[in-house]
Amino acid sequence: MTVAVPEILAPAGTPAALEAAVDAGADTVYCGFRDATNARNYPGLNFTAAELRDGLAYAHARGRRVNVAINTYASAGNTRIWHAAIDRAAELGADAIIMADIGLLDYAARTHPALPRHLSVQAGAASAESIRYYYEFFGISRMILPRIFTLDEIAELKARVPIEIECFIFGSLSPMSEGRCSLSAYATGRSPNLCGVCSPAEFVRYEAVQGTLLCRLGEFVINAFEAGEPAGYPTVCKGRYLAGEDEAAYVFEEPECLNAAPYIGALRRAGIAAFKIEGRQRGRFYVTQVVAAFRELIDAEARGEPPSRHTAALERLRRLAEGGEETTGAYRKGWR
Amino acid sequence: MALPNSLAARRPDPRDLVVSLALATLPRPLIAAMLRRVARSLPQRLAGRLAELEGKRLLIVPDELSYAFLLSFPHGRLTIGLLDPPAAPPTDAQMQGPLRLFYDLVRGGDDGDALFFSRELAVTGDMAAAVALRNAMDGAGVDLFGEFLALPAPFGPLLRHGGAALERCAVVLLGPLAGRTARLEAEVAALRAEVRRLKQGAAKPRAKPPSAPPPMPGMQP
């Protein structure tokens, strides 16, 4: 039996990144509007309605798709901007919307039933029963898996749910509590779940102090880097803390980048429909490099070539890794 | 004579050479005038994104130049001034690094986050302003170098011809060095791959767990 080649889903924080993703070989691009309705609400990022219209035209003219992330949780009593975002995505002709909030899923299902709904990783649906619930009540056609499953679990899950499954193949990791993490809210009062932003840039300060680079988030010093030491994103989960040790250490997570290139074949055989690349906050160079590398690796694997032979593409990916380190995350974890 | 393939992609762009030459040798008033023209010619689509930077001032300090660039954003427009770094007024954010990094960032030839992770690019101060500028420039797909070289005569044609001559000189002078560097790069990449294979085969060292309290029920390990 021939197993279909999964599509590549590329991030785009800007119009230039969207065009770069399409040009580099992405099958689908995902992006968000310039407000708190999406989980990458950073300064100068995301799309106006006019920019998304142009982006859709660019992608569709080349036979590609654009999915719109509306994947934060609406504020109680103030769903206006989320409903407006859903309406706008439908009106502009988005190919799918990526959502987490059940109230918004219900609104989208009732108001725009023909617009495909994908369940965001932010929903944190982590069992076949949970995914089936979203499918039966809100008609989701695709599930984006939280980054907590092993390869064996994914294969088992796929056999038990009646929808497409999308999984992350590359990019920064969060502490495996997607949609439920409140670390940023603790330090700054704002979180990716409600405000679309983790460690808001306006709360981040880097200061050079006697050769050491101090990283502050709000009132907290969350990390300190010696000269030349690789750095990561200024998030609480990637800070170093004194926790019963003499030296500060990464107690939540080290700054690493998921790279599941070694498992392209295993994931394809498990029936994965799409490989997702994280990084809407990154620039067009990142998008071009990562999409082109995975286009090469995925096409090679489909021809029966091991991705490991494509050393130049793998090296280009490594150069872009957060903290300069890569991990295969939970896909083959020896810990539990 | 061509440079080895592995390094050809990383050799200086001819435009880098000519812009560097201009920035290093021309009188500052002339550079300032050229930058004003380039800033005025930026596309309108940049204005909406630069509007978020209203009232902010950013300082860009290239390692190789004796002066720094002061960026401000009145009414969604970019203005660029030149000044001596010690004489710089207080600014909201500061970026410092080799000139080539800024060239790459301006034309989308490298990733700002990766440069920051590797500590090649130093960013201090108001990160919201720095991030907004990066996203605005990167997102508009602006080719500032193209604008620079498209300046009207005599500047544009002079710079373009100078660039072609410099490119020829660079190939002659850098060719042997480039070959050696390419070989070293390949060796380092092979060693890195070997180290990664060894690390993946070994148990990952973990910090000693605290004696108490135990993990909360329901938390992911």
Q: What is the pLDDT along chain A (336 residues), one digit of tens a residue?
A: 567 899 999 999 999 999 999 999 999 999 999 999 998 888 889 999 999 999 999 999 999 999 999 999 998 888 999 999 999 999 999 999 999 999 999 999 999 999 999 999 999 898 899 999 999 999 999 999 998 889 999 999 999 999 999 999 999 887 667 778 889 999 999 988 888 888 999 999 988 888 888 999 999 999 999 988 888 889 999 999 988 878 889 988 888 899 999 999 999 999 999 999 999 999 999 999 999 999 999 999 999 999 999 999 999 999 998 888 888 888 887 655
Mean pLDDT of B10-24: 73
pLDDT mean across residues, chain B: 75
Question: Assign residue B108 a region: left if phi > 0, alpha if psi is -120 to 50, beta otherwise?
Answer: left
Query: Would you tell me which residues 143-162 of chain A have a C-beta closer than 8 angstroms to some C-beta of chain B?
Result: 148
Q: B220–A175: do the CB atoms touch at under 8 Å?
A: yes
Nearest-CA distance from A286 to chain B in Å?
6
Domain boundaries, chain B: 1-24+151-199, 43-141
Looking at the partner chain, which of A16, A200, A334 has a beta carbon nearest the beta carbon of B141? A16
- Does the CB of A201 have a partner CB in chain B at under 8 Å? yes
Whether the predicted pLDDT of B11 surpasses 60: no
User: Smallest Cα–Cα separation from B158: which of B37, B64, B26?
Assistant: B26
Q: Under DSSP, is residue B20 helix (H, G, I), strand (E, B) or coil?
A: helix
Note whether B43 contacts A: Cβ–Cβ < 8 A.
no
The overall pTM is greater than 0.90: no
Beta-bridged to residue A224, according to DSSP, are A214
Cβ-defined contact of B114 to A44 (cutoff 8 Å): no
Which of residues 40 through 79 in chain A touch B, CB cutoff 8 A? 42-45, 48
How high is the pLDDT of residue B92? 94
| Chain-chain contact of A229 with B119 (C-beta, under 8 angstroms) | yes
Reported in sequence order, the residue ranges of chain A that DSSP labels E, i.e. its strands, are 7-11, 28-31, 65-70, 96-99, 117-119, 142-144, 164-172, 204-209, 212-217, 220-225, 240-241, 249-250, 257-259, 274-277, 326-327
* Residue A156, token pair as written in the block: 């088992």
Q: What is the pLDDT of residues B68-111, one digit of tens each?
A: 999 999 888 889 999 998 888 999 999 999 988 888 887 788 88
Nearest-neighbour CA in chain B from A227: distance (Å): 8
Alpha-helix runs per DSSP H in A80-172: 80-92, 102-111, 128-138, 151-160
**Which is more confidently placed, B65 or A179?**
B65
Whether residue B134 and residue A335 make contact (CB cut-off 8 A), yes or no, is: no
Q: How far apart are the first and last CA of chain B?
A: 57
The predicted pLDDT at position A306 comes to 92
Judging contacts by C-beta atoms under 8 Å, the chain B residues touching residue A284 are 108, 138-139, 141
Dig out the tokens for B13 from the structure: 């762009």
**φ, ψ of residue B41 in degrees (nearest 5):** -90, 0
Taking 3-state DSSP, the helix, strand and coil percentages for chain B, each rounded to the nearest 5, stand at 55, 10, 30
Which chain B residues touch A245 with a CB distance below 8 Å?
207-208
B119, B127, B194, best to mutate vs chain A, most A CBs in 10 Å: B127
Map residue B75 onto helix, strand or coil.
helix
What count of other Cβ atoms lies within 10 Å of the Cβ of residue A162? 9
pLDDT band at B169 (very low <50, low <70, confident <90, very high): low
pLDDT of residue A69: 97
Task: State the span(s) of chain A assigned CATH 3.20.20.70.
Answer: 7-173+256-327
Answer with the residue of higher pLDDT: B114 or A103.
A103
Question: Is A7-173+256-327 a domain of CATH 3.20.20.70?
Answer: yes
% helix, strand, coil for chain A, step of 5:
35, 20, 40
To test the contact with chain A by mutation, choose from B119, B187, B194 the residue with the greatest count of A C-beta atoms within 10 A, namely B119
CATH number of B43-141: 3.30.1050.10
Distance from CA of B205 to the nearest CA of A (A): 12
What is the percent of chain B with per-residue pLDDT over 90, rounded to a whole number?
18
Stretch B37-50: mean pLDDT: 77
Q: Is A204 on the interface with B (CB under 8 A)?
A: yes
Give me the pLDDT at residue B211, please: 45
CB-based burial label for B75 (10 Å; 0-12, 13-18, 19+): exposed
